[in-house]
Amino acid sequence: MCGMIFTVAIDGPAAAGKGTIGRALAERFGFAHLDTGLLYRAVGVKGGDPVAAAEALSEADLMRADLRSLEAGEAASRVAVIPGVRAALLAFQRSFARREGGAVLDGRDIGTVICPAAEVKLFVTASPEVRAQRRWLELGGEAAAQSYEAVLEGVKARDARDMGRADAPLKPAADAVLIDTSAMSAEAALDAAGTQVRAALARAGHG
């Protein structure tokens, strides 16, 4: 769909499935995909002054092998509360969102702050217990360095930080479609999201 400007904004808490849905949607519809959480993870693991790190962020920084670690996620949550960091990354995200050919962005403030005029807004969530179980299994389950209880505590603490921050708190956009993946398979969640995208493409004359 060359030349088309079409943005899918996906928000939600950690381990709800928004990244999986975002990547699959981009592949299904031929859109570009940006996991905006990687931007904050990259800033967090670079160390030093977070604002300076955000201003100097390059695409190469997003290729680091350690960005998916639990430590990187914690670092991301800490730097994401800094207004200067969010401001430095705003232009990058908005430019990506309006690139030709369509784009899917997933994060925590895409539909509310980054792309309030996105053609599709989804809020993907799940219970803290389900999200902690998923994250614990990703980390190795019984072989993980952390217990399930410790991971659950971390998930709840991160939710509190993300939802309670003064600048761009995590919350659904007023017109976002809620997808609760607590009891859904990945395929069912993707189908629910795809239905919204197809309907919006048709409304925009791209169906």
Annotated binding site for ATP: 12-20
* Angle, helix 70-79 to helix 37-46, in steps of 10 degrees: 90
What tokens appear for 132 in the block?
């902690």
Residue ranges at the known binding site: 12-20
> CA-to-CA distance for 175 and 47, rounded, in angstroms?
37
Query: Tokens 């859109």 — which residue?
Result: 31
Q: Report helix angle 148-164 to 128-138, nearest 10.
A: 120
Three-state secondary structure of 110-171: HHHHHCCCCCEEEEEECCHHHHHHHHHHHCCHHHCCCCHHHHHHHHHHHHHHHHHCCCCCCC
By CB atoms closer than 10 A (0-12, 13-18, 19+), residue 94 is middle
Find out whether 103 and 8 touch, Cβ atoms under 8 Å: yes
Give burial (CB, 10 Å; 0-12/13-18/19+) of 179. buried
